[in-house]
Homo-oligomer: A and B are copies of this chain.
Amino acid sequence: MANGKSGMRAVTLADVAAAAGVSISAVSMALADHPRIGARTKQQINSLAEELGYVSNSAARSLRSQRSGTIALIVPNTGQHVFGHPYFMQLLVGVSDELNARGASLLVSTNPDERHGVVAYERVLRSRAGDGAIVASAAVDDVNVLRLVDSGLPVVLVGHYPAIADAVSVAVEDVSGARAVTEHLHRVHGLTDIAHISGPMNHQTSIDRLVGFRAALAGTEGADDALVVAGDFSEDSGRRAACELLEKRPSLQGIFAANDEMAYGALLELRARGLRVPQDIALVGYDDFGVSRLTTPALTTVSVPAVEVGRRATVRLLELIDGVAQEGQETLPVTLTIRESCGCPPTT
């Protein structure tokens, strides 16, 4: 392969054609392995292209073929906020993996700010910079998402959107996971006074986990007066929520936080108050994106297969783009991961 200092004109089909003494079309067709090009010629053109370091210009190719070979991962909210979350990383791993396997590229697009939301979502697709988009973690009441889905452009949503009937989405079992971890506290450890630190109520995830929590408690002793305090998925809000819960109910036996970060915040608060986890109070989280394994005690939580979510979302988006789409919402199973914060003995 040839390389040289900056400013060098890129190698185009024309260069290869000139070198091979054939037409540009012949080169294009040869590289595309068109049957109407002779085997000898193909051979020669291929090695010549390799030798000259020819790489097809993606803009020209996209323009001509009306396809960019790129999909966009759209992350609402500002970069800072969402990238920080390990959830996003895992999603990215899944998406990027799957895309790589198919020779496609990934355009990562964050929303600079809420107000321009409308624009940022659609620009990417309407400019044809991406053939389709995966939209991660938008709020349920985000009008832009509805608009985008409605525009008919290929879009896969991550998470549940009960309000958008014809959306293609990939989500995770939030209700049953929340139910399972709460039931663990109740059935295995015999706790009856369990509170929930929920996420913000404009996220479907928060709603579903709360529903699961309630379902687990339904019919049990403490069901009717189970406390619920809302946080915003941040460690700090978890800490404040725990504080509030303990003020209201000093006798609390267990806390189920809607994600691990809030659980960690709660852990700090409990620790600060001299309460031992799990001896004095049990604590469980949700997500299992790294935090839960590191704390002491390690958090019992619900493992969310975020990598797989990314993978499936990508597969379905590519299907959608290829027109072999199956509409509908897909839900991936979660698993209960028992560690120590619920009162179970350490495994290691």
Residues of A in contact with B (beta carbons under 8 Å apart):
3-8, 10-11, 53, 55-60, 62-63, 68, 70, 78-80, 83-84, 86, 88-90, 92-93, 96-97, 100-101, 105-110, 112, 122-124, 126-129, 147, 150-154, 264, 268, 272, 290-291, 294-296, 348
Question: Which B residues lie within 8 Å of A264 (CB)?
Answer: 294
Question: Which B residues lie within 8 Å of A59 (CB)?
Answer: 58-60, 62-63, 68, 128-129
Question: Which B residues lie within 8 Å of A6 (CB)?
Answer: 152-154
Q: Are A96 and B84 in contact (CB under 8 A)?
A: no
Question: Which B residues lie within 8 Å of A291 (CB)?
Answer: 290, 294
Other CB < 8 Å A-B pairs besides A10-B126, A105-B129, 7 of them?
A: A6-B153, A11-B126, A55-B123, A55-B127, A59-B128, A101-B112, A107-B107
Q: Are B128 and A57 in contact (CB under 8 A)?
A: yes
| Contacts A152-B6, A152-B8, A294-B295 given; does A83 touch B79 at CB 8 Å | no
| Contacts A3-B150, A63-B63, A296-B295 given; does A106 touch B105 at CB 8 Å | no
Question: Contact partner of A122 among B55, B90, B126, B348, CB < 8 A?
Answer: B55
Nearest 8 CB-CB pairings of A with B: A6-B152, A59-B62, A296-B296, A55-B126, A5-B152, A59-B63, A3-B151, A58-B129
Question: Which B residues lie within 8 Å of A295 (CB)?
Answer: 294-296
In the complex, the chain B residue whose C-beta lies closest to that of A69 is B129
Question: Which B residues lie within 8 Å of A123 (CB)?
Answer: 55
In the complex, the chain B residue whose C-beta lies closest to that of A125 is B55
Q: Are B83 and A92 in contact (CB under 8 A)?
A: yes
Query: What are 20 A-B interface contacts by the 8 Å CB criterion?
Result: A3-B147, A11-B126, A55-B123, A55-B127, A58-B59, A59-B63, A59-B129, A70-B107, A79-B96, A80-B93, A83-B92, A83-B96, A84-B90, A84-B93, A106-B107, A108-B108, A272-B348, A290-B291, A294-B294, A296-B296
